[in-house]
Structure 1
Amino acid sequence: MSILDSLPDEPEEDQSPESPTPPNQWLDKQEQLKPPQMKVDAPLRMVETAFLASTASLIWFINYYFPLGPVLRIFFPVPIALVYLRWGKRAAWMAAVTSGLLLSVLMGPVRSLLFVMPYAFMGVLLGATWYRRVPWIVSITLGTLLGTLGFFFRMWLLSVLSSEDLWIYVINQVTEITEWVFLKLELLATPSVFLIQMGAIALIVLNNFIYLFVVHLAAWLLLDRLGNPIPRPPQWVQVLMDYEG
């Protein structure tokens, strides 16, 4: 008998189902058993949305009790628009709702509604238009329409709560302005009621148009420095502001 014949036979590989699992399959199973990793952006999105929503509410709160003229009013829709630019539509709507709820706790539901319509909605609208890089004339026009609707909503709500028609006070003011203009133009005609109402609506639209233009200017200068630029203004605005960006 030779030495080779005396060596034990090598065991054959067991092909049965009970054979040990290959290393690759072990790695796959371990990866499946790992807990899901939370996205890093999720907490940051939540924190920034809450912070900017509270900022918008705080600006409204301070301006209501300590009015500083039109300075703070310019920034009413800007924080929510910034949320849209940074985190998208869902976060912007969450910021609008959060700011409304916060103001309803601090100041009551009526004053909260006066902020939500139109300024919170305006923030979402401006954020959407700036995110899509539409021209200024489009975003200003859409914001003007929303601001005009917000004015009439405010007049309706306050008229219901005060049981008085506040539109009459607006008409009286416009009537005095119209009569003064007719007097300066030496017109002997008396302005009709329809003309006075059209003049009131035109003044409201013009006021909102100027307001939206100033909001765009402030956002253009501010958000550029925060790393979230809005679309470029018309060339004449850049020349007027002597801005190079």
Structure 2
Amino acid sequence: MLLFFDRWGWINWLKTPLQKPFLAAEQKIYHVSLSLKEFLNIFGNQSRQAKKIDQLESQLRQLAGEQNLLATCQQENEQMRKLLGAPLPPQWQFLPAKVVGVGAVFKIDQGSQADVAEGMAVVSENILVGRVTATGRDYSLVQTPQDSEIKIPIIFRSQQDKQPAGRGILENQAGSLVMEKVLQEESLQPGDWVLTSGESGWLPDLLIGEVAEILFKPADVYKRAKVKPLLAYDQLRTVFVIFP
């Protein structure tokens, strides 16, 4: 019956007031649906973009690692070339090692498994870095001239002369390298090279530094001098253990 009346429009007066709330509700539902679709699209795009960013960051990290490895290899090769050209005994052999810590006594990544032993000298080119004081299976500790307990028998000579001009003992005093026990009659000049003498278990003729300032008075029994190191010990990355 209602369908018959509706077909002829006899109940439009009743439908019209009821349709308005339904249309308003449908419109709101439609707008909410559009907003939800837009949100899901944005969220989906952000998720895909985040994945792409993660992939790119992973690739960048991999490239950075490969670049660092290449730079390290190039540095080791360059240092090895300089080492082979240094005026050191040809029978000496050299084991490269990476520095894995800093300080007056630092750690390197070679140990007893590579036949590194206590007392071995460690160099960068022909410049003394220090010597091994303890070893583990895969690491060793290296004592440098920065250590306050170190005492190194040394010789000194001018940069133009290969003959030593005198002898002394190198110590670290309050963070500075100081040469002690130099006889008054020995000719000591600023700019003189300071090298290991080869005594007390140290290998000979390894450069350490140069005389920066002479400290003595005529009444003193011995001369003293400040020594400027030739290495920045806290910036070392690769060193070489000597197998004499």
TM-score after normalising by structure 2: 0.31
Larger Rg: 2
| TM norm structure 1 | 0.31
Higher strand content, 1 or 2 = 2
